[in-house]
Amino acid sequence: MKRSESAENYLETILMLKQKNGAVRSIDIVRQMAFSKPSVSHAMGLLRQRGQITMDKDGWIELTDEGRALAERVYERHCLLSEWLVKLGVSPEVAAEDACRMEHDLSDETFQKLKEHIQAHQGNPGV
């Protein structure tokens, strides 16, 4: 199945909200992402069809193993890239925005090499 930046953003948001609040419903996603209820409802339907989330009769959302793996992959990229950009001198707001764009487009190979480089040069991010 083709990866979708939009789906990855929803899954990452579900993961972050679950970590923060312990439970997630569509309205939480609406508030967090500032999207309309119909847009979020449609996206949740697509994520259910893809087998990346489940939703119980009360509307509580859970990530499946596949959904969690993808969400954690994107979240790891976001955190690492954001922190690195801030260490380079980028403002936290701009770093978060840029990391959000970059996290979806880097190949696994490039991300892994960047991660290794950053970890090897923790005290000197510009190296």
CA distance 9 to 11: 5
pLDDT band at 121 (very low <50, low <70, confident <90, very high): confident
Q: HSE of 121 in the Cβ direction (CA atoms, 13 Å)?
A: 13
Question: Is the pLDDT confidence value at 43 over 70?
Answer: yes
Q: What are the structural domains of the chain?
A: 5-69 (1.10.10.10), 72-120 (1.10.60.10)
pLDDT of residue 122: 76
| Better pLDDT: 126 or 13 | 13
Is 31 in a helix, a strand, or coil?
helix
pLDDT of residue 1: 35
Residue 94 φ/ψ, nearest 5 degrees: -70, -40
What confidence tens digit (pLDDT) does each residue in 52-109 have? 999 999 999 999 999 999 999 999 999 999 999 999 999 999 999 999 999 988 999 9
pLDDT of residue 2: 44
Residue type for position 37: K
Greatest alpha-carbon pair distance for the chain in Å reads 52
Please check whether residue 33 is in contact with residue 12, taking contact to mean a CB–CB distance below 8 angstroms. no
CA distance 55 to 44: 9
